[in-house]
Structure 1
Amino acid sequence: MSAWKSSSFIQDSRKLPVDPQDLDFFKTVPSLQQWLGNPHYSVVGTSARIPRDDGENDLFAITLKTTSTIPKWLLVVRDEAVDPRPDRRDEPPNGSADKPDIILLVNLEQGTNGFKAVAHGGLLSALLDETLSYCVEFARQRRYEAREHLFTANLNIDFRQPVVTPGVAVIKSWVTKVEGRKYWLSGQIEGVEGHVCVQVKGLWISARPGKI
């Protein structure tokens, strides 16, 4: 995730380009209109799909950005959860599975398989980590904290059903608790019909100012 130390991270994210072909692809899925047509949610660009000279983002920007792996990718954010509001910075999180803070839509092709027609669990874990990382960074930026490194301290993943390929997966994330430099999050991967395939709970910790 680039530019995370910038005080304009949220504004910059909204300025990143959104691939119109990706948007058009997901608009063809009727069940996704509850998010893509929702006035409380916005589509934003993601730095994870933009290659950098220093090698950052290569996993999702190069290795997994092919016609046989994850050709389509779209990030949707709940405006209330990500936009800076100084008068509401200390309000407790109010996201949920029905009102997620972040939604990542991905088109998983055969190149992501572990077993036949089933996405690899390690890949799904990486996608969850990426989605929750965006979610916690937006939450932290909204609180106007010092921009120190954020670390994934824990991910507890429960695989309930296979994620079938080829197909579209809906990855949701929301902050459940904030305490000092610690952020607790929940998330899940759903099929386009809404069935829950994978659930996750995670803890992120922001480094102490000046330590790293």
Structure 2
Amino acid sequence: MSSVLARRFISRSLSSRTLLYPTRNTSSTSTSSSSSPSPSHSHSRRNFLTLTLTAVASLTAYTVGSLYPPPPPLSLLFPPPAPAPPDPTSAESLEYTVSLEEQLLSLPLLHSLRTAPDAKEWYEARPYKSFPEERRVNNLTAGALRGPGKLAIPPVVWVRRDESESYVFIHVGRGLCGHDGIIHGGLLATLLDESMARTAINNLPERIGVTATLNLNYRAPTKADQFIVIKTKLGEVKGRKANVVARVEDMKGTLLVEAEAMFVQPKYAKLLNTAVMRQVMGEPPKSDHEPVLLADGQDMKALRREK
């Protein structure tokens, strides 16, 4: 009897200990939990992998950028600063102007026009050639914007004799920029206005006209320090109104700006002196195929002799 009671007491004691201290279950649970990584450890591994991938990507981008320079759009957005235009009275400026004049007169496009089969149907002119200096100083493109780094030399105009179309060759310097390295859009509008006005005015009854409308579409950035050509073509002419279309291109033929405009002859045009307008626009030279050497109103050969 006593042995039976003793066995029952021992079994109850063991049962109560198992409930109060479940050592086997606890050890198995802790073992299983210790086999999986803690959240903090996983987070650290993810951070390390992210930093490693970022470093590898940065090194790869640097290497590719070194081997292959960035494309032109990036250089347009982040151009290096350009030096200021030189002093107009310096020897450097004089030499620069002479060089530009030589480049202008030897442009391949201008040469092809001069030697084309229909060259006799065209003439070559230089605006502002006979424009008086006292008037020139207060003119925008012939005076205020004249000089090295800006409009260093007057344009060459290749014009059809019936005044229906023209090619205007101009050099635009780095002093005419809005965004550094890119010619200001307003300056291009001014050059277009004057070039198109020349075509329109020569087709109006009294050879006088003012701009009524001017619409432009900018197609590509115009880089500074290059030659551009403005191609104008006469549209409809009706009474005192003339319409002209034009396009600006670089020497590679890239379209930079498209424009269309309407010019109107004032009712008081007969009272105005058209001689000044002819001086500004440039008239046909006496010798049709002899290029006019001109830089700020001076003979380039004479400049060389003085040097």
Please say whether Structure 1 and Structure 2 have the same fold, judged by a TM-score greater than 0.5.
Answer: yes
SS in 1 for 2:154: strand
Contact 2:128 2:154 in 1 (8 A): no
Taking only the aligned residue pairs, the percentage that are identical comes to 22
SS in 2 for 1:139: coil
Of 161, 165, 169, the residue aligned with 2:220 is 161
Residue deviations 1:20-76 (CA, integer Å, cap 9, x gap): 976532233323322243413322121388454246762122222211101133232
Structure 1's 54 and 78: CA in aligned 2 closer, same or farther, altered over 3 A?
Answer: closer
Task: Say whether residues 1:47 and 2:107 are aligned partners.
Answer: no
Of 86, 107, 112, the residue aligned with 1:29 is 107
Q: Which runs of 5+ in 2 are unaligned?
A: 1-96, 272-307
**More relative contact order in 1 or in 2 (CA 8 Å, sep 6+)?**
1
Structure 1's 108 and 46: CA in aligned 2 closer, same or farther, altered over 3 A?
Answer: same
Greater share of residues in strand: 1
The residue aligned with 2:263 is 204
Paired with 1:106 and 1:49, the residues of 2 have a C-alpha distance of 18
The residue aligned with 1:87 is none
Contact 1:43 1:74 in 2 (8 A): no
Structure 1's 146 and 29: CA in aligned 2 closer, same or farther, altered over 3 A?
Answer: closer
Contact 2:211 2:263 in 1 (8 A): yes
Task: Say whether residues 1:120 and 2:188 are aligned partners.
Answer: no
SS in 1 for 2:202: helix
1:118 maps to a residue whose letter is I
Contact 2:109 2:251 in 1 (8 A): yes
2:246 maps to a residue whose letter is G
Paired with 1:55 and 1:21, the residues of 2 have a C-alpha distance of 23
Which of 1 and 2 has greater Rg?
2
Cα displacement (A) at 1:110: 0.6
Of 60, 77, 97, the residue aligned with 2:141 is 60
Cα displacement (A) at 1:117: 1.4
Paired with 1:116 and 1:177, the residues of 2 have a C-alpha distance of 38
Of residues 31-40 and 122-131 in structure 1, the stretch that sits farther from structure 2 once superposed is: 31-40
Task: Say whether residues 1:188 and 2:247 are aligned partners.
Answer: yes
Contact 2:220 2:257 in 1 (8 A): yes
SS in 2 for 1:53: helix
The residue aligned with 1:151 is 210
CA RMSD after TM alignment: 2.7
Residue deviations 1:141-186 (CA, integer Å, cap 9, x gap): xxxx235x41100000100101111111101111111111110100
Q: Which runs of 5+ in 1 are unaligned?
A: 1-18, 83-94, 96-100
Contact 2:206 2:269 in 1 (8 A): no
Paired with 2:251 and 2:144, the residues of 1 have a C-alpha distance of 25
SS in 2 for 1:73: coil
Structure 1's 21 and 57: CA in aligned 2 closer, same or farther, altered over 3 A?
Answer: farther
Contact 1:49 1:61 in 2 (8 A): no
Paired with 1:63 and 1:170, the residues of 2 have a C-alpha distance of 21
Structure 1's 20 and 168: CA in aligned 2 closer, same or farther, altered over 3 A?
Answer: same
Cα displacement (A) at 1:209: 4.8
Aligned residues: 172
1:46 maps to a residue whose letter is P
- The within-5 A match list for 1:3-18 is none
